[in-house]
Chain A
Amino acid sequence: MAEEKTYVEDVDRSLYDFRNEDKDSFKLDEGLTPEIVKQISEEKNDPEWMKDFRLKALEIYNKMGVPDWGPSIEGLDMDNIVTYVRANTHMSATWDEVPEEIKDTFERLGIPQAERESLAGVGAQYDSELVYHNVKKEVADQGVVYTDLESALWGPHADMIKEHFMKLITPRDHKFAALHGAVWSGGSFVYVPPGVSVEIPLQSYFRLNAPGAGQFEHTLIIVDEGAYLHFIEGCSAPKYNIANLHAGAVELFVGKNATLRYSTIENWSKNMYNLNTKRATVEEGGKVEWISGSFGSHVSYLYPESRLMGRGARAEFTGVTFAGNGQNLDTGCKMLQAAPDTSSFVSTRSISKDGGISTFRSSVVITEAAKNSKSAVSCESLMIDDISQSDTIPAMDIRTADADVGHEAKIGRISDDAVFYLMSRGLSEEDAKALIVSGFADNVSKELPLEYAVEMNNLIRLEMKGSIG
């Protein structure tokens, strides 16, 4: 039985923690000034309206305060963050053209392999710029546009981007949305034409290599009437001793009777401040499905929002958050139901271990116009030890009597009986607990494509390793 008691070790993150030497890259100075913002705009060859937009966003950023309700972000000093880092390369459409070291990074993360096996298109961002973008010909032939946002600003869809860019997430939303508006760089633009169903997923992968840098990619997806898309977002970074910042933005426009599934496995390093904003607007009969796994980051503020603006629009949010040592992950979702017959469904699990803090935060707002709307929220939390913390902060604001809203939450520990049973079947205590936690998080893993579900379960196994002392 001795092998069932193990020493509490740090999680093995070697899969993500390797780093490339920060050389030959172009960097702007640390901090945030109008000059730096103008420089970013010039580097990126922005249209004039975008340059003006950035400077306006910077003004808003300077006027807004940091959030006073969530985890502390005192360790984040914007004067020390480099907002723009460009590797010494340009964007390629074949992996052969990507510099060896960067290609090796993505090889080790399994991106080209996944592209060959199970993806319709891939975008790979390294620090502030995309280094690879490609979409399969048969998907492109359907009229699907999947490209980097910068190129799209000058391409045939320039007007469409101008019409949608930061209209859903505006710089006035909060301080880090304003920051994003000022210094955004990289990210993808996807347009799926009416009636087109993209059978296999598209994926963007974001890798932040430079220490003390920020990543501010912007993802803009428009799924037109009756179309279908599954988009996968992955992110990771090596660990440094200084703070890194991720303040991306994801804007999703789901058209009439269209469906968009947006899956994320977030595994930033544990020095990362992940202050990301994601929002979808859904028209009549449309549906947005969020699948979200949060494993990394030092501090996270992440609450994908669904705005159900058309009759019969639907939203689902399925999430798991795993907070370990030194992590304060404040995650959840927001639902705004502003049209009749809308429905929202939320199912989340959170796990706290080794002093980690996990907070589930949500809002469900059903307006006067949302007659005959429904909402169901379920959140469960698991405490692995008594040095961790787990909070549940759901809010409901219901403004019509013609609504049906249900909410349930539970918090507790791993059942001793379940561990005992599994151990009696021959599992070690560690494996038994890891199995129970994997099962606890199966609301997310069963919604992911197989290879991502396997990766997520591996992450849980890694996180659970050494949890028994």
Chain B
Amino acid sequence: MSMRINYLPAPTWNWLKMNFKEVDEWQGKKEDAKITLPEGVTLTTLEDAENSDKSFDFNEVGTGMGPEIGKIIDDSKVATQRFVCEENREIETPVFVDLNYDGEDENGNQNYVNSYEVLLKENSSATFVFCYSSKKKSIALNQVKFIVEKNAKLSLVQLHMLGDEFNMFSDVGVRIDENANVSQVNLFIGGEKIYNGFRADLAGKYSSIESDYGYIVKGEEELDINYVANHLGKKTNSDILVNGVLRDKGKKMFRGTIDLRRGGKEAVGAENEDVLMIDEGVRNQTVPLILCTEEDVSGTHGATIGKIDEDLMFYLQSRGLAKEYIYEMMAEARIKYVINKIENENLRNRCLSFLGYDKDVEVENEVEVIGSRGEN
């Protein structure tokens, strides 16, 4: 059986094969993540937690992949885990969720499914890092739903550092309430096939989100991204900047939607993608949508795709640089621009080391572990 994920909110011609991604259904077991849990954040497994707060309906939080992906979570019978950040608290230490899929399994090749809910209560602020890594051949899904309450601030980092036989489904949905803010870095630097969904519902007045996406798709890797920003409240703001590099026979699909809904007056939405295509054999697909049913708004999108600008190339060559070196330099600069948005130095170094850009950086792979492996 197959399922459709990463829908375009407004479809286009079917022959382009861009409206959605069709994937096979599969099942997996929960991966026991290593989790760093700072003070001010609690973690419960919902099926175990009789006293967990049920006043928040995360079912209303839609994700970028769409509802069909929920079937994998349901079929896998994986219990959702919920983080809650205390209100009026600024949590400085990041909540680090290390999903390394290299652990030994009794049954040989194993697929993994994790599902989280995160509640940032009013006036709280926190950083959540989800790091996906593996050298194995396998498939994993990680779905995270956030509710960011009034005046709360979420910093979200997702790092995809997977081997060339690993298929990853990372799916996020976030509801942003009044005056709350989300900033995110989403980095894709390894994985045979990566499917990534992200949806933000800017529900409250003055809610905002800034996103920085970076990718290097190489070898025969494929990356399929769906980003949706729904502007529901007044004076909301969304901004996404995507920097990417395609090389070898890498393929990438980016769907980006800004939906300026009726009633969301004075909303501003922007998206921009800059794709450097290095080798013959690469393929880039981009569909940047602006949907608008409100007059008093502003929406913009731009895309620059292809080779290095001729004037820039001429200038750099005139300074004595070889063409091949210029391409490597520009590719590195693009991805480092996004990596540098990550505040945690150790994480930055880990990304640079994975890419082989900074061989001499010291990388601490160990993180503080809560429980033996996982929180229980």
Q: A68-B11, A69-B11, A386-B294 are in contact. Are A392 and B289 (CB under 8 A)?
A: yes
**Nearest CB on A from B308, distance (A):** 9
CA distance A383 to B290 in the complex (A): 13
Please determine whether A391 and B291 come into contact, CB atoms closer than 8 angstroms.
yes
Q: Encode contact with B along A389-426: 1 for CB under 8 Å, 0 otherwise.
A: 11111111111111111111111110000000000000
B14 within 8 A of A: yes
Please determine whether A405 and B303 come into contact, CB atoms closer than 8 angstroms.
yes
CA distance A17 to B294 in the complex (A): 31
B302 within 8 A of A: yes
Question: Could you say which residues of chain B place their CB within 8 Å of the CB of A409?
Answer: 288, 290, 299-302
Please determine whether B12 and A401 come into contact, CB atoms closer than 8 angstroms.
no
**Nearest CB on B from A245, distance (A):** 21
B315 within 8 A of A: no
A92 within 8 A of B: no
Please determine whether B288 and A398 come into contact, CB atoms closer than 8 angstroms.
no
Q: Indicate which residue in B260, B275, B287, B293 contacts A393 across the interface (CB closer than 8 Å).
A: B287
**Nearest CB on A from B195, distance (A):** 19
Please determine whether B287 and A411 come into contact, CB atoms closer than 8 angstroms.
no
Q: Indicate which residue in A68, A361, A411 contacts B290 across the interface (CB closer than 8 Å).
A: A411
CA distance A69 to B287 in the complex (A): 15
CA distance A359 to B10 in the complex (A): 10
Identify which of B176-184, B208-216, B276-284 touches chain A.
Answer: B276-284
Please determine whether B304 and A410 come into contact, CB atoms closer than 8 angstroms.
no
A443 within 8 A of B: no
B120 within 8 A of A: no
Please determine whether B299 and A395 come into contact, CB atoms closer than 8 angstroms.
no
CA distance A413 to B306 in the complex (A): 32
Q: A361-B12, A363-B13 are in contact. Are A383 and B289 (CB under 8 A)?
A: no
Question: Could you say which residues of chain B place their CB within 8 Å of the CB of A361?
Answer: 12-13
Please determine whether B306 and A401 come into contact, CB atoms closer than 8 angstroms.
yes
Number of A-B contacts (CB under 8 A): 141
Q: A401-B306, A402-B307, A411-B290 are in contact. Are A386 and B262 (CB under 8 A)?
A: yes
Question: Could you say which residues of chain A place their CB within 8 Å of the CB of B260?
Answer: 411
Please determine whether A69 and B19 come into contact, CB atoms closer than 8 angstroms.
yes
Please determine whether B299 and A412 come into contact, CB atoms closer than 8 angstroms.
yes
Question: Could you say which residues of chain B place their CB within 8 Å of the CB of A383?
Answer: 292, 294-295, 297
CA distance A381 to B291 in the complex (A): 11
Please determine whether A393 and B12 come into contact, CB atoms closer than 8 angstroms.
yes
Q: Indicate which residue in A368, A391, A408, A412 contacts B10 across the interface (CB closer than 8 Å).
A: A391
Please determine whether B306 and A393 come into contact, CB atoms closer than 8 angstroms.
no
Please determine whether A395 and B18 come into contact, CB atoms closer than 8 angstroms.
yes
Please determine whether A404 and B16 come into contact, CB atoms closer than 8 angstroms.
no
Please determine whether A69 and B12 come into contact, CB atoms closer than 8 angstroms.
yes
A431 within 8 A of B: no
A151 within 8 A of B: no
CA distance A359 to B246 in the complex (A): 31
Please determine whether A401 and B307 come into contact, CB atoms closer than 8 angstroms.
yes
**Nearest CB on B from A373, distance (A):** 9
Question: Could you say which residues of chain B place their CB within 8 Å of the CB of A68?
Answer: 11, 14
Please determine whether A394 and B287 come into contact, CB atoms closer than 8 angstroms.
yes
Q: Indicate which residue in A398, A404, A412 contacts B284 across the interface (CB closer than 8 Å).
A: A398
Question: Could you say which residues of chain A place their CB within 8 Å of the CB of B279?
Answer: 401
**Nearest CB on A from B243, distance (A):** 16
CA distance A385 to B293 in the complex (A): 9
**Nearest CB on B from A390, distance (A):** 5
Please determine whether B294 and A406 come into contact, CB atoms closer than 8 angstroms.
no
Q: Residue on B with the closest CB to A381?
A: B292
Question: Could you say which residues of chain A place their CB within 8 Å of the CB of B309?
Answer: 404
Please determine whether B283 and A391 come into contact, CB atoms closer than 8 angstroms.
no
Q: A391-B289, A395-B286, A396-B284 are in contact. Are A413 and B295 (CB under 8 A)?
A: yes
**A residues adjacent to B (C-beta < 8 A):** 68-69, 359, 361, 363, 368, 381, 383-386, 388-413
12 A–B contacts from the bound complex (CB under 8 Å) = A384-B295, A386-B295, A388-B293, A391-B290, A392-B291, A397-B283, A400-B280, A402-B306, A404-B310, A410-B298, A411-B260, A412-B297
15 more A-B residue pairs beyond the given contacts A383-B297, A399-B282, A407-B286, with a C-beta to C-beta distance below 8 A: A69-B11, A386-B265, A389-B293, A393-B289, A396-B285, A397-B284, A400-B280, A401-B279, A403-B307, A404-B309, A405-B303, A405-B304, A407-B304, A411-B260, A412-B299
